[in-house]
Amino acid sequence: MLRQLDSSSIQSWKLGFSFLKIFLKLMRYFNFYRSTLENISGVRTEAGQQPPVKHQDSLVTKIIDTSSVIMFFALIFFEISVISSYLGVYAHSFFGVLGLAVSGFLGYVSADLISGFVHFLCDNFGSAKTPIFGSRFIQPFRIHHSDPEEITLHGFFHTNGNNCFASMPAMLLVYIFVPYSSFPFFLFHFYFLALVLGLFVTNEFHKWAHVKNPPNVVRKLQNIGLILGREHHQIHHVSPFETYYCITTGWLNPVLEKIGIFKWIVKVVKKNDK
């Protein structure tokens, strides 16, 4: 039994280190990609347009963003290590694999839903002076509407710091209080992993949707609809900016627009304010 446990733990750590290598490669890619995005200012200037102005963050904000991303990936590393140690127990049958696939898909869809509601709230309520949330969450969305391409000038940590910072409390609660000891709980962990990873990449997808000539692999993912596309997202950037808020994949935008949930919320809030 101990020998099996040791073997399982070794496999978990190997998978974790493989994920860490992928993460470091992605960071190098994003740093290179950022240098190409900075050319956008020159392109817009030559076209007679006002170049985007990068919003400068304080040293404290940079430290929070960087530490949030690092701690987020430490928690992801832990979760992947634990999940991988249980795969041999729960993923040995067709229904086990199917359950994992459905859980992962639902987690990704949930990320799109959450991105939409957060975007909606930050666009329509509060201000940059709102305590706690104003400067970190509301202000970036307001700046984004005045200059949509400003987001393309952000580095890796700036782009993803807020989402990592907001995700960690829920991650800690799930990892501490939700056991792995039964298949339903294990599926929830897999769902939650897909959810937080989906939320993590949301701002990168959003940034790519504002790049006119993204890398080929990004454009292909946009074209097949796996991530937010430029043409799809431009629907939101038509004044008065009150539709198509979801920015992970945008899959839920037509559904939520047809339901009219966001307009209904605004209507109810305005009615209660009178």
Tens of pLDDT, residue by residue over 41-81, are 333 333 334 444 455 567 888 899 999 999 999 999 999 99
DSSP helix, strand, coil percent of the chain (3-state; round to 5): 75, 0, 25
pLDDT for 57 = 66
Domain edges within the chain: 58-273
- According to DSSP, residue 11 is labeled H
User: Which tokens go with 139?
Assistant: 């202000």
- Please report, for residues 33, 195, 212, 230, 244, the alpha-carbon distance to residue 43 in angstroms, rounded to integers and kept in the order given: 16, 36, 11, 18, 28
Residues 156-212: tens digit of each pLDDT: 999 999 999 999 999 999 999 999 989 999 999 999 999 999 999 999 999 999 998
Query: DSSP strand E in the chain: where?
Result: none
Q: Using CA atoms, how far apart are residues 203 and 137, in angstroms rounded to an integer?
A: 12
Q: Which pLDDT does position 59 carry in this prediction?
A: 83
Q: Model-level pTM?
A: 0.79
- Highest-confidence segment of 22-26, 70-74, 145-149, 211-215: 70-74
What is the C-alpha separation between 85 and 172, in angstroms, rounded?
19
User: Mean pLDDT for the chain?
Assistant: 83
The number of CA neighbours under 13 Å toward the Cβ of 243 is: 13
Given a cut of 50, whether residue 16 has pLDDT beyond it is yes
- In DSSP notation, 170-182 reads HHHHHHHHS-SSS
pLDDT for 127: 84
For position 36, what pLDDT does the model report?
36
Token representation of residue 42: 């020159």
Tokens 């309520």, located at residue: 125
Dihedral angle of Cα 171, 199, 143, 233, to the nearest 10 degrees: -160
Residues 128 and 195: their CA atoms lie apart, in Å, by 27
**132: confidence class by pLDDT, cuts 50, 70, 90:** confident
Spatial separation of the C-alpha atoms in residues 163 and 84, rounded to whole Å: 25
Express as a percent the part of the chain with pLDDT over 70. 78
Kindly report whether the peptide bond that precedes residue 52 is cis, defined as omega within 30 degrees of 0.
Answer: no
Identify the pLDDT of residue 48.
38
pLDDT in tens, 109-127: 999 999 999 999 999 888 8
- Looking at residue 33, what is its pLDDT? 41
